């Protein structure tokens, strides 16, 4: 089995690479070269994160593992660009979704709402990653995460009581405003 971490290559007999050994290698290389884990490819299958349980499943019959590590600044830039891209795309859909809830949700409304909730979860994860990468912005990113968590909670409460007008209001007046604020703030970075 072949392991490549950026430009360094190791060969292991009979898939003899344990999760602990892999991440010890990654940590040592990260420390010595000032790099951060980006993602891993196991026989071409992409994993942005991998835990021991997933490793055990995928490592049984693997032939090649590629670990991609990048400088912290590059990953931070990639995360910021992804956040900015999501915010811009999603913002345009928020007003439409809010209007649909104000008029009474249809089946397509629920599909879009589900996508919005998934997007908000992804956004929180992206901000958590940003916080991890940029220690100087931890307070700011935790405030973003807390604000998003609060809105998600309020959306859940409105959903429980089937207050579709409130869902529409939260999307239009809370999320849309928040997205506009973050688009301008993170455009400056």
Is there a single domain that holds both residue 179 and residue 119?
Answer: yes
> Final residue of a domain: which of 70, 91, 111?
70
Total of domains in the chain: 2
Do residues 34 and 10 both lie within one domain? yes
pLDDT of residue 106: 96
Residues 6+ apart with CB under 8 A from 139: none
Sorted by sequence, the CB contacts under 8 Å of residue 168 that are 6+ apart come out as 97, 98, 99, 100, 101, 102
Shared domain check, 91 and 39: no
**Same-domain status, 115 and 154:** yes
How many Å apart are CA 44 and CA 148, to the nearest integer? 34
pLDDT at residue 12 in the model: 76
β-strand pairing of 8-11 with 2-5: antiparallel
pLDDT of residue 189: 54
Task: Looking at the structure, tell me whether residues 101 and 150 fall in a common domain.
Answer: yes
Same domain (yes/no): 52, 105: no
Residues 141 and 116 in one domain: yes
Q: What's residue 151's pLDDT?
A: 95
Q: Which pLDDT score is estimated for 103? A: 96
Q: Evaluate the CA torsion angle 186, 123, 136, 146 in order and state its sign.
A: positive
Q: How far apart are CA 4 and CA 133, in angstroms?
A: 23
φ and ψ at 53, to 5 degrees? -65, -45
157 and 113 in a common domain: yes
Note whether 80 and 136 are same-domain residues. Answer: yes
Residue 65 shares a structural domain with residue 94: no
How far apart CA 84 and CA 91 sit, in angstroms, is 11
Give the pLDDT score at 111: 96
What is the predicted pLDDT for the residue at 132?
A: 81
Helical packing angle, 107-133 and 138-160, nearest 10°: 160
Measured in whole angstroms, the distance separating CA 158 from the mean position of its chain's CA atoms is 25
What is the residue range of 147's domain? Answer: 74-188
Q: Environment class of residue 97 by beta-carbon count within 10 Å: exposed (0-12), middle (13-18) or buried (19+)? A: buried
Residues of the chain with confidence (pLDDT) below 50: none
| Paired residues of 179 in beta bridges | none
* Predicted pLDDT of residue 15: 58
Domain boundary residue, one of 51, 70, 89: 70
CB 14 within 8 A of CB 47: no
Q: State the pLDDT at residue 188.
A: 55
Report the pLDDT value the prediction gives residue 130, as an integer from 0 to 100.
Answer: 85
- Which of these three, 37, 54, 70, is where a domain ends? 70
Same domain, 174 and 83: yes
């Amino acid at each position: 089995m072949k392991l490549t971490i950026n430009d360094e290559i190791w060969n292991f007999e009979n898939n003899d690479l344990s999760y602990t050994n892999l991440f010890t290698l990654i940590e040592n290389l990260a420390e010595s070269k000032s790099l951060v884990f980006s993602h891993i490819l196991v026989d071409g299958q992409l994993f942005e994160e991998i835990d021991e349980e997933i490793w055990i499943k995928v490592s049984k019959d693997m032939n090649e593992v590629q670990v991609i590590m990048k400088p912290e600044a590059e990953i931070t830039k990639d995360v910021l660009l992804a956040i900015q891209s999501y915010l811009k795309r999603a913002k345009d859909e928020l007003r439409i979704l809010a209007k649909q809830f104000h008029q009474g949700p249809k089946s397509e409304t629920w599909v879009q709402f589900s996508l919005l909730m998934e997007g908000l979860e992804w956004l929180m994860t992206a901000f958590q990653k940003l916080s991890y990468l940029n220690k100087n912005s931890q307070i700011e990113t935790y405030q973003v995460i807390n604000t998003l968590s609060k809105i998600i909670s309020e959306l859940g409460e409105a959903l429980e009581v089937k207050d579709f007008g409130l869902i529409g209001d939260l999307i239009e007046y809370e999320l849309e405003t928040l997205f506009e604020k973050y688009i301008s703030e993170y455009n400056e970075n």
